[in-house]
Amino acid sequence: MSYGQNTPAPIEEEPSTGASLQTIVTVFGLSLIGTVVGTALFGTDKQSERAFRLLPWLRTDHEPAASDEQLPRGEMY
């Protein structure tokens, strides 16, 4: 008697949590930026003023690096 070969079914891998979390963070960031910019451009005068004050906070570099002249003597950083 001949038996057919048993081949295992391919295992479907679920997406990792990291990719899902990365997508959620990206969508949240883009929606936040879109909301602030949209409010700045199309909101009332009071809302626009507040939104324009928030725009510098959305940058990644909040403070420029100190030059050598600004550092106290004896300290490198």
Q: Exposed, middle or buried, 9 (CB in 10 Å: 0-12/13-18/19+)?
A: exposed
Q: Is residue 35 part of a domain?
A: yes
Q: Is residue 1 part of a domain?
A: no
Share of the chain above pLDDT 70, in %: 62
Q: What pTM, to 2 d.p., does this model score?
A: 0.51
Residue 67 vs residues 17, 64, 71, 72: alpha-carbon distances, Å:
42, 9, 7, 11
pLDDT in tens, 16-43: 667 788 899 999 989 988 998 899 899 9
As for how many domains the chain has, the answer is 1
Range of the domain at 53: 19-57
Which pLDDT belongs to residue 61?
64
